[in-house]
């Protein structure tokens, strides 16, 4: 049945669509065009005459070793964060999917962290994993400097990845649980009859059948890790990009450069590079990984 | 080869009991068919034997060993599922050999056994295909091969033929029977199809609403159904059942305006009570005397025809041969031979064990060749 409503005039449907069109133009295309323009001009911080400078902004960005540092940090953050969230979400989903007695409340509990804002979670973890008073304090007492995100960039990076994984595992959990529940129960039973325990069943039957969901989450979480609002929020509230640019992920660097350094042009150029990188990653994922995930 | 004993097995989901105490014993090598309508608990019982469903109370023993607490893999059963449950991401060979792979059988031996098994079920040319590229019958064979390759003590079949078309179902039925003769493992086959049940079973278990109605050889059950339920469930077209009363004074069964004389001694033994009378359609004969019925419609079967009509408000069918000239709207007279009547107590629904046409009388019955067993 055709459910489309047919309009006789052109202006009435246009009027209905107008609010949405205005919103998209205002909050999506206008900034995007502005970024594109700023990336190729020298934009004075307090407005006024912008000067076209061609690719100079890009040359400056690429010449900066700190920029390449932040690309590396971002890659590490997105990759580790993605793998950690998917792995944790998968383990939790597999456990809940067994529907053992008493597992029902966990379905709800595991999703909860997703409802908490990233910066708030980051703040909490700053205290929970604080080297002086937090969970790791006793380890530090035994082995001084065993854990100190304020001092070591690698520790700080681990800290923000933990916060990211803690929050987003609930999100992957939802998708993976839904995916697992669409695996026919009789397949699990057949595997049980064939002699598999729960872990073997997960590895041989459930995970291969989850491949489409896993691929979807890989793309979504990589993108989230690279440009997600949470990535900025977590880094800003937990480590402030430090120590010594140790957690200076690309989104954090862009915001800092634009609004603290007032270098709109450089930040815009970096934004464009980031968008380009995301497109390349997504293309690679679709081109080479998606092929492997269809089992029919 | 294994015998199976089921003792006072009950199953409840929450507060809803689905099995109300099942006691059964299956001998080693027997082909047992559990027959019942959907929701009667037959699949639940099978899954409890397999270990896929917890046993609420009671005991299941395989080869004398109680298996209540054992995992499915420790019970030595193989199961063929209704929807086949093939692993969609594995090839046919992968599906068949998966159990061996899990058991850690070396690859060379595994491949050899996969090929052997595939040959038994006629799948040798399809080993590299994925299940999605197979027809329904082929998938069914993969499911069987997957069970066979494990050389199990017990085969469990959960309505394996119900997804196949009618013709394939008959073929696969014969193949399952042949396979059983060859492997002679104890087999338990769950179905709601009484033809499958009659043709396959060494021992038939009829279940209804979580209880066992009758256990026995298929022909015994066909000829002496233990309850109204079994009588109506087994046989196609179904047995005619209608209510009647015993008139002890006049020594007859009365239904509608009809009085059917019976032996006075038997009438006394039956006593004045409400009964349900059953007779199979194929045992009603067109005769000069008997009950007169109006023909509603006729089903042609080729080898014969089934006349549908109404007796005293109850649907009534009679099988007649293809030469009987009859048209819808005609009136026909059917004889209901006493020897073939089944009597059931209407209150309990159970069979009344009484022979309405003992040997002395039966010799004078109109159809001496069709004797009740």
d(CA A231, CA A160): 9
Question: Cβ of B13 under 8 Å from any chain A Cβ?
Answer: no
pLDDT digit string (tens) for A222-263? 888 988 888 898 998 888 887 888 888 888 988 888 888 888
pLDDT digit string (tens) for A104-145? 888 888 888 898 888 899 999 989 988 888 888 888 888 888
By Cβ distance, the residue of B52, B87, B98 closest to A189 is B52
pLDDT digit string (tens) for B159-206? 888 888 888 888 888 888 888 888 888 999 999 988 889 989 999 999
Strand partners of residue B187: B31, B155
Reported as a pLDDT band with limits 50, 70 and 90, residue B363 is very low
**What backbone torsions phi and psi does residue B222 show, to the nearest 5 degrees?**
-65, -40
Q: What DSSP string runs through A135-202? A: TTHHHHHHSTTSS-TTT-HHHHHHHHHHHHHHHHHHHHHHHHHHHHHTS-HHHHHHHHHTT--HHHHI
Question: Cβ of B105 under 8 Å from any chain A Cβ?
Answer: no
**What is the CA B8 to chain-centroid distance, rounded?**
22
The answer to whether B200 and B244 are in contact (CB under 8 A) is no
Q: Do B98 and A209 touch (CB under 8 A)?
A: no
The answer to whether B160 and B80 are in contact (CB under 8 A) is yes
**What backbone torsions phi and psi does residue B350 show, to the nearest 5 degrees?**
-90, 160
Q: Do B78 and A193 touch (CB under 8 A)?
A: yes
By Cβ distance, the residue of A191, A193, A208 closest to B89 is A208
Closest-approach residue (CA) in chain B for A190? B85
Quick one: A228 exposed, middle or buried, by C-beta within 10 A (0-12, 13-18, 19+)? buried
Closest CA to B156 of B12, B53, B18, B13: B53
d(CA B365, CA B371): 10
Closest CA to B37 of B192, B153, B157, B227: B192
Residues 6+ apart with CB under 8 A from B156: B46, B49, B50, B77, B78, B79, B80, B187, B188, B190
CB pairs under 8 A between A and B: 63
In whole angstroms, how large is the CA radius of gyration of chain B? 25
Q: Do A184 and B83 touch (CB under 8 A)?
A: yes
pLDDT at residue A87 in the model: 96
Question: Cβ of A199 under 8 Å from any chain B Cβ?
Answer: no
Residues 6+ apart with CB under 8 A from B158: B43, B46, B47, B79, B80, B81, B82, B190
Q: Do A209 and B130 touch (CB under 8 A)?
A: no
Q: What is the mean pLDDT of chain B?
A: 87
Report whether CATH 3.30.365.10 matches the domain A57-293.
Answer: no
d(CA A162, CA A239): 12
Reported as a pLDDT band with limits 50, 70 and 90, residue A4 is low
d(CA B200, CA A159): 66
Whether B10 has a pLDDT exceeding 70, the answer reads yes
d(CA A284, CA A277): 11
- What interhelical angle do A65-97 and A104-111 show, nearest 10? 170
Tokens 């089992």 found at? A295
Distance of residue B162 Cα from the nearest chain A Cα, in angstroms: 16
The answer to whether B227 and B258 are in contact (CB under 8 A) is no
Name the DSSP class of A236.
Answer: H
Q: Do A193 and B77 touch (CB under 8 A)?
A: yes
Tokens of B170: 């008959």
Q: Do B52 and A192 touch (CB under 8 A)?
A: yes
pLDDT digit string (tens) for B321-340? 888 888 888 888 888 888 88
d(CA A164, CA A177): 20
- What interhelical angle do A118-128 and A153-181 show, nearest 10? 120
**Region B97-104: what's the mean pLDDT?**
91
Per-residue H/E/C for chain B: CCCEEEEEEEEEECCEEEEEEEEEEECCCCEEEEECCCCCCHHHHHHHHHCCCCCCEEEEEECCEECCCCCHHHCCEEEECCCCCCCCCCCHHHHHHHHHHHHCCCHHHHHHHHHHHHHHHCCHHHCCCCHHHCCHHHHHHHHHHHHHCCCCCEEEEECCCCCCCHHHHHHHHHHHHHHHHHHCCEEEEEECCHHHHHHHCCEEEEEECCEEEEEECHHHHHHCCCEHHHHHHCCCCCCEEEEEEEECCCCEEEECCEEEECCHHHHHHHCCCEEEEEECHHHCEEEEEEEEEEEEEEEECCCEEEEEEEECCEEEEEEEECCCCCCCCCEEEEECCHHHCEEEECCCCEECCCCCCCHHHHCCCCCCCCCCC
Tokens of A166: 């803690």
Helix (H, G, I), strand (E, B) or coil at A42: strand
Report the Cα–Cα distance between both ends of chain B, in Å, rounded: 32
Quick one: B220 exposed, middle or buried, by C-beta within 10 A (0-12, 13-18, 19+)? middle
Name the DSSP class of A241.
Answer: T
Closest-approach residue (CA) in chain A for B49? A193
The answer to whether A238 and A246 are in contact (CB under 8 A) is no
Q: Do B87 and A296 touch (CB under 8 A)?
A: no
Closest-approach residue (CA) in chain A for B130? A296
pLDDT at residue B370 in the model: 36
pLDDT at residue B267 in the model: 85
Q: Do B102 and A192 touch (CB under 8 A)?
A: no
- What interhelical angle do A65-97 and A153-181 show, nearest 10? 40
The answer to whether B118 and B92 are in contact (CB under 8 A) is yes
Closest-approach residue (CA) in chain B for A295? B89
The answer to whether B131 and B114 are in contact (CB under 8 A) is no
pLDDT at residue B269 in the model: 85
d(CA B165, CA B177): 18
By Cβ distance, the residue of A186, A189, A196 closest to B102 is A196
The share of chain B scoring above pLDDT 70, in percent, equals 95
Reported as a pLDDT band with limits 50, 70 and 90, residue B216 is very high
Helix (H, G, I), strand (E, B) or coil at A132: coil
Whether A288 has a pLDDT exceeding 80, the answer reads no
In whole angstroms, how large is the CA radius of gyration of chain A? 24
Tokens 């896929």 found at? B52
Residues 6+ apart with CB under 8 A from B244: B253, B254, B255, B274, B275, B276, B277
- Report cis status (omega within 30 of 0) of the bond before B237: yes
Task: Give me the domains of chain B, ranges plus CATH numbers.
Answer: 4-230 (3.40.50.300), 237-362 (2.40.50.140)
Interface test with B, best of A101, A183, A190 (most B CBs within 10 A): A190
Reported as a pLDDT band with limits 50, 70 and 90, residue A81 is very high
Q: Do A193 and B130 touch (CB under 8 A)?
A: no
Whether A41 has a pLDDT exceeding 90, the answer reads no
Whether B373 has a pLDDT exceeding 60, the answer reads no
Tokens of B260: 């059917």
By Cβ distance, the residue of B50, B87, B103 closest to A187 is B87
Instruction: Classify the complex by whether its ipTM is higher than 0.90, answering yes or no.
Output: no
Name the DSSP class of A4.
Answer: P
Helices within chain A (DSSP H only): 11-24, 30-39, 56-63, 65-97, 104-111, 118-128, 137-142, 153-181, 185-193, 198-201, 207-209, 211-227, 229-238, 250-255, 264-284, 290-293
d(CA A225, CA A227): 6
């Amino acid at each position: 049945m055709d459910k489309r409503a047919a309009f006789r005039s052109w202006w009435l449907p246009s009027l209905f669509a107008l609010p949405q069109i205005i919103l998209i133009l205002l909050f999506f295309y206008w900034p995007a065009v502005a970024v594109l323009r700023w990336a190729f001009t020298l934009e004075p911080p307090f407005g006024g005459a912008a000067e076209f400078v061609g690719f100079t902004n890009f040359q400056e960005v690429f010449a900066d070793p700190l920029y390449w540092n932040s690309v590396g940090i971002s890659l590490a953050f997105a990759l580790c964060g993605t793998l950690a969230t998917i792995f944790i979400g998968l383990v939790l989903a597999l456990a809940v999917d067994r529907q053992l007695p008493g597992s029902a409340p966990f379905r709800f509990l595991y999703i909860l962290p997703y409802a908490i804002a990233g910066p708030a979670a980051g703040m909490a973890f700053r205290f929970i994993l604080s080297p002086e008073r937090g969970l790791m304090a006793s380890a530090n007492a035994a082995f001084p400097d065993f854990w100190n995100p304020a001092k070591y960039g690698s520790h700080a990076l681990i800290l923000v990845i933990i916060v990211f994984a803690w929050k987003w595992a609930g999100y992957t959990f939802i998708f993976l649980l839904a995916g697992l529940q669409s695996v026919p129960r009789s397949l699990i039973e057949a595997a049980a009859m064939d002699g598999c325990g729960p872990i073997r069943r997960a590895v041989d039957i459930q995970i291969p059948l989850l491949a489409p969901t896993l691929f979807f989450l890989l793309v979504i979480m990589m993108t989230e890790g690279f440009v997600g609002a949470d990535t900025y929020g977590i880094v800003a509230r937990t480590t402030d990009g430090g120590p010594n640019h140790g957690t200076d992920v690309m989104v954090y660097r862009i915001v800092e450069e634009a609004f603290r350094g007032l270098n709109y042009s450089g930040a815009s150029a970096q934004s464009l590079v980031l968008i380009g990188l995301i497109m390349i990653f997504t293309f690679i994922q679709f081109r080479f990984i998606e092929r492997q995930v269809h089992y029919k | 080869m294994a015998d199976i004993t089921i003792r006072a097995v009950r199953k409840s989901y929450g507060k809803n009991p689905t099995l109300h105490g099942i006691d059964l014993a299956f001998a080693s090598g027997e082909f047992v068919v559990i027959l019942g309508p959907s929701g009667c608990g037959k699949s639940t019982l099978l899954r409890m034997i397999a270990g896929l469903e917890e046993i609420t109370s009671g005991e299941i023993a395989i080869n004398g060993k109680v298996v209540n607490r054992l995992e499915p893999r420790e019970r030595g059963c193989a199961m063929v599922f209704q929807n086949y449950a093939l692993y969609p991401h594995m090839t046919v060979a992968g599906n068949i050999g998966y159990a061996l792979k899990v058991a850690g059988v070396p690859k060379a031996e595994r491949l050899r056994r996969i090929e052997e098994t595939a040959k038994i079920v006629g799948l040798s040319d399809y080993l590299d295909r994925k299940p999605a590229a197979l027809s329904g019958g082929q998938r069914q064979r993969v499911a069987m091969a997957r069970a066979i390759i494990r050389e199990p003590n017990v085969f469990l079949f959960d309505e394996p033929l119900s997804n196949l078309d009618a013709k394939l179902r008959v073929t696969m039925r014969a193949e399952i029977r042949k396979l059983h003769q060859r492997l002679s493992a104890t087999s338990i086959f769950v179905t709601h199809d009484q033809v499958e049940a009659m043709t396959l079973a060494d021992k038939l278990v009829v279940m209804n609403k979580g209880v066992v109605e009758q256990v026995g050889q298929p022909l015994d059950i066909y000829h002496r159904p233990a309850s109204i339920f079994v009588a109506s469930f087994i046989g196609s077209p179904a047995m005619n059942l209608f209510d009647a009363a015993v008139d002890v004074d006049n020594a007859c069964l009365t239904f509608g305006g009809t009085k059917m004389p019976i032996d006075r001694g038997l009438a006394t033994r039956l006593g004045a009570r409400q009964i349900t009378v059953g007779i199979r359609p194929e045992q009603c004969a067109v005769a000069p005397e008997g009950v007169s019925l109006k023909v509603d419609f006729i089903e042609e079967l080729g080898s014969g025809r089934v006349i549908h009509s109404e007796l005293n408000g109850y649907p009534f069918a009679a099988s007649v041969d293809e030469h009987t000239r009859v048209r819808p709207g005609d009136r026909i007279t059917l004889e209901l031979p006493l020897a073939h009547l089944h009597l059931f107590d209407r209150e309990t629904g159970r069979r009344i064990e009484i022979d309405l046409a003992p040997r002395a009388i039966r010799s004078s019955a109109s159809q001496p060749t069709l004797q009740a067993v």
